[in-house]
A and B are shown apart, each in its own frame.
Chain A
């Protein structure tokens, strides 16, 4: 499946072309305001009021999601494409037990008897490695820790066996040790269930650990994408390079963090040419005029840069 979108109002997204293949584990990386969350909402057509997708198509298994009527989208959400978010409390209704919520979702998309639904729910809780699923079924969200809530949210998201899971910063609020286990869980689920995962994060290290492919966003546009090893070890776009240089990592103590001068342009500003040129150490005159096309530079490594993104065969 592949998609490309443009979205309006304050120009949150200015042109994203992305191909995601089955069973990919893609990391969508960028800083605040780069449009990564909006991309996810666009896929699910859950854009907040006031937002408009002004151009583009999103193909999911050959069908353009942007053309579908709402009632069909509702069938897709949760059943074929699922999403979990940074704060699991947003998904977990504090008034219902985990079991009740799981069963509600299962019954919405499938016709199963009550007993079958309960079994399915229990099974999902086991799949996400929650200890003592029976007890969890009867527990309320506030009784669970952050990590457990996120696992429950994953269980809910996967309960109808979707093809695609979108995870919007799922581990940002969690402690490091818990984060590691959630990432492992996601990897395991991907293998076992042939799941495709898009994970949004601001942390390049998380992408390096867990993802297989990565797409880097800047100011609403895709600037680089490809395999994790390729992009993170041989970054071509100056923004990606800068981002790597300013991320602290264990063992990088001797190298100072190099800050990127300047600031990310706000979505109300439209910068001519390449969005990054005001901050790019290698900017040329051409960079100020036209936005570079998204070109392939070997394998499936794509870059949008006049200088580094030359076509290669």
Chain B
């Protein structure tokens, strides 16, 4: 299955050419922020504010894959939750198909959820162990449509086939499956209501490399067949590079760089991006030569450094970096960086 269709996969230049400048983004995030109040255990009065997300903005165009990369504490999970309205953002806009989800009343939001689905990181936890595969995969259908049992049954069988499962898996239970198969079930569930947009939160982190390859190939094929748009979150830069058209790099709740995939790797501009690229282990030995070492640990999200968050670890930090957080600058049509050095 994987072999034949790969030759049809669009080359990067074709994708870039088709990326519309005047086309409407399917998802537009505008100055999104989310704060949490963290209570200090000793001093009950002082409540530290954790800026899990700060001023996050980006656009995702239809039928593309947008990757988000970052290490722990960067806020990518919070970002997904805010997009899906599982938690309410403190500020900002989440415009899906032109409609701001933040402002929608819950009844209308529920209807919109049909088009916006999610695949979770841990396939062993994200499926109800007491429900059969049929029940799990058909849940979006039963929630959003009034299809009859027979119709649902047939549709689920089709879906199972599409994700590479057998027909007789329909009545089995999660504990009978391997991680890879469970993730396929989760994907089938996400697809059942025919969504336009799927968020994928590290969908392959819990899987072996060879299984990961199967799932990624499946996702790519499905994207082509069903004209889906993906938001792919991962800490694995190599993987994100492989599957995404555009990538945003996050650090401590802010986006530091957005670029299309080719530019990000050929010409990373933000020092953190450069460090991330050079720290990512690669099978090619020659990448060892230009290793950029960054010192220190990732700071505590409730007490971020002043000015540019990255300055304590940045090999190029100037005085201005200590004081003022850099604005997001547009380098060219798809490349944005938040750094004083540009």
Given that A176-B237, A243-B210 are contacting pairs, would A251 and B284 also be in contact in the complex, using a CB cutoff of 8 Å?
yes
The answer to whether B217 and A253 have CB atoms under 8 Å apart is no
Spell out B's residues near A (CB within 8 Å).
Answer: 2-3, 6, 9, 11-12, 71-72, 178, 180, 208-214, 216-217, 220, 235-239, 241-242, 261-262, 265, 275-285, 287-288, 291, 293-294, 297-298
A232 contacts the other chain (CB 8 A): yes
* In the complex, residue of chain A having the shortest beta-carbon distance to the beta carbon of B296: A131
Spell out A's residues near B (CB within 8 Å).
Answer: 31-32, 145-148, 175-181, 183-184, 202-206, 208-210, 229, 232, 242-244, 246-254, 256-260, 263-264
The answer to whether B283 and A208 have CB atoms under 8 Å apart is yes
CA distance A9 to B141 in the complex (A): 45
Q: Which residues of B contact A257 (CB under 8 A)?
A: 212-213, 216-217, 242
* Shortest distance from the beta carbon of B6 to any chain A beta carbon, whole Å: 4
Tell me which of B217, B285, B297 contacts A229 (CB under 8 A): B285
Q: Which residues of A contact B71 (CB under 8 A)?
A: 175-178
Given that A251-B284, A256-B217 are contacting pairs, would A243 and B209 also be in contact in the complex, using a CB cutoff of 8 Å?
yes
* Shortest distance from the beta carbon of B9 to any chain A beta carbon, whole Å: 6
* Shortest distance from the beta carbon of A153 to any chain B beta carbon, whole Å: 16
* In the complex, residue of chain A having the shortest beta-carbon distance to the beta carbon of B285: A208
Given that A145-B298, A202-B209, A259-B213 are contacting pairs, would A180 and B279 also be in contact in the complex, using a CB cutoff of 8 Å?
yes
The answer to whether B217 and A259 have CB atoms under 8 Å apart is yes
* In the complex, residue of chain B having the shortest beta-carbon distance to the beta carbon of A181: B293
What are the 6 tightest A-B residue pairs by CB atom distance, in nearest-first order?
A246-B213, A175-B71, A205-B281, A180-B279, A259-B214, A259-B213
CA distance A210 to B287 in the complex (A): 12
CA distance A129 to B276 in the complex (A): 21
CA distance A263 to B213 in the complex (A): 12
The answer to whether B281 and A180 have CB atoms under 8 Å apart is yes
The answer to whether B297 and A209 have CB atoms under 8 Å apart is no
Given that A177-B275, A249-B238 are contacting pairs, would A242 and B210 also be in contact in the complex, using a CB cutoff of 8 Å?
yes
* Shortest distance from the beta carbon of A140 to any chain B beta carbon, whole Å: 15
* In the complex, residue of chain A having the shortest beta-carbon distance to the beta carbon of B73: A175
CA distance A208 to B238 in the complex (A): 14
CA distance A249 to B2 in the complex (A): 18
* Shortest distance from the beta carbon of B187 to any chain A beta carbon, whole Å: 15
The answer to whether B237 and A202 have CB atoms under 8 Å apart is no
Given that A32-B208, A177-B276, A246-B209 are contacting pairs, would A253 and B285 also be in contact in the complex, using a CB cutoff of 8 Å?
no
CA distance A183 to B210 in the complex (A): 24
CA distance A247 to B284 in the complex (A): 12
The answer to whether A258 and B2 have CB atoms under 8 Å apart is yes
Q: Which residues of B contact A176 (CB under 8 A)?
A: 71, 235-237, 276, 279-280
Given that A177-B294, A250-B237, A253-B241 are contacting pairs, would A209 and B281 also be in contact in the complex, using a CB cutoff of 8 Å?
yes
CA distance A237 to B244 in the complex (A): 31
The answer to whether A260 and B213 have CB atoms under 8 Å apart is yes
Tell me which of A32, A250, A264 contacts B282 (CB under 8 A): A250
The answer to whether A259 and B2 have CB atoms under 8 Å apart is yes
The answer to whether B281 and A253 have CB atoms under 8 Å apart is no
Q: Which residues of A contact B208 (CB under 8 A)?
A: 31-32, 202, 264
Q: Which residues of B contact A229 (CB under 8 A)?
A: 285
Tell me which of B2, B276, B282 contacts A205 (CB under 8 A): B282
The answer to whether A147 and B213 have CB atoms under 8 Å apart is no
The answer to whether B210 and A180 have CB atoms under 8 Å apart is no
CA distance A208 to B220 in the complex (A): 27
17 further interface pairs, Cβ-Cβ under 8 Å (given A145-B298, A242-B210): A32-B208, A147-B297, A176-B71, A176-B236, A176-B279, A177-B294, A178-B297, A179-B281, A180-B293, A208-B282, A209-B281, A246-B212, A249-B238, A250-B284, A251-B241, A252-B242, A264-B210
The answer to whether B239 and A254 have CB atoms under 8 Å apart is no
